[in-house]
Amino acid sequence: MTVETVVVDHPLVLDSLAVIRDVKTPNALFRQNLERIGTLLIAEATQTLPTVSGTVETPLTTATTERLAVQPVIVPILRAGLGFLRPAQELLPDADIGFIGIARNEETHQPEPYVNKLPDNIASRPVIVVDPMLATGGSLIHTLQLLIERGASQPLTVIVALAAPEGIAALEASGIDVTLFTAVIDERLNDSAYIVPGLGDAGDRQFGAPA
């Protein structure tokens, strides 16, 4: 098994999940609750980041400390992954950010890349890929392969709000070592490769449908 799946069923995550599933939720409230989910998932996913010991001088005495040993690289998959970028930067303000843009062909359901902007120094650094939804897994697997080609170490950390069983199965079949953090594993994909019950198109619900 190359995929370790962690379902983060924190009450605050579940509360925001109910909001973003609701078809009546407006874009601004959708973004707010998606970011709330992102904050909680990222906090959970970064519990094992390596630290180094040190000391600081407080107003009273010397205190022992722990600081991050190395800053991770955050990679949102455009455009929906931007919904997790702000919480990632708030929790990890010194992290480097890479961008992978992948559109889904609505006829073939296959990924079509259009942006590839990654930091040069990703080898030997924790890499965290963020995208609200894991549907077929095509876009995510393509992104992970690009990262591995650039020297990223496995296992790679992936954070999504919703995952479909088919997407998890595709990840497992890819042979890539992944630790997947999600708020929920939904029922299935429909014939259009949308997650059911899902929440619709995460990009459109954050930013509006493109003209």
pLDDT in tens, 178-187: 999 999 999 9
Measure the CA–CA gap between 169 and 164, rounded to whole angstroms: 9
The whole-number pLDDT of residue 73 equals 96
Q: Number of structural domains, the chain? A: 1
Please return the burial class of 47, using the count of CB atoms within 10 Å of its CB with bins 0-12, 13-18 and 19+: exposed
The whole-number pLDDT of residue 188 equals 95
Structure tokens at 2: 């190359």
- Whether 56 is covered by a domain: the verdict is no
Nearest to 133 by CA among 161, 112, 111, 157: 161
Structure tokens at 90: 């708030």
Q: What is the bridge-based pairing of β-strands 96-97 and 73-78?
A: parallel
- Whether 171 is covered by a domain: the verdict is yes
Taking only the tens place, the pLDDT of each residue in 5-27 is: 999 999 999 999 999 999 999 99
Taking only the tens place, the pLDDT of each residue in 41-73 is: 999 999 999 999 999 999 999 999 999 999 999
pLDDT at residue 208 greater than cutoff 90: no
Which residues are catalytically annotated? 104, 108, 201, 204
- What percent of the chain is predicted at pLDDT more than 70? 97
The whole-number pLDDT of residue 1 equals 57
- Whether 113 is covered by a domain: the verdict is yes
- Whether 28 is covered by a domain: the verdict is yes
Cβ atoms of residues 126 and 166 within 8 Å: no
- Whether 66 is covered by a domain: the verdict is no
Task: Report H helices in the chain.
Answer: 11-21, 27-45, 85-91, 138-149, 165-174, 202-207
pTM for the structure as a whole: 0.92
Measure the CA–CA gap between 57 and 129, rounded to whole angstroms: 36
- Whether 112 is covered by a domain: the verdict is yes
Taking only the tens place, the pLDDT of each residue in 129-148 is: 999 999 999 999 999 999 99
Which residue segment(s) compose the domain that 79 sits in? 3-47+71-207
Q: What is the CATH number of the domain that holds 95?
A: 3.40.50.2020
- Whether 58 is covered by a domain: the verdict is no
Computed from CA positions of residues 164, 167, 207, 147, in that sequence, does the dihedral angle turn out positive or negative?
Answer: positive
Return the DSSP state at 30: H
Q: What is the bridge-based pairing of β-strands 188-189 and 195-196?
A: antiparallel
- Whether 18 is covered by a domain: the verdict is yes
Q: Per DSSP, what are the bridge partners of residue 63?
A: 56
The whole-number pLDDT of residue 107 equals 72
Measure the CA–CA gap between 77 and 109, rounded to whole angstroms: 16
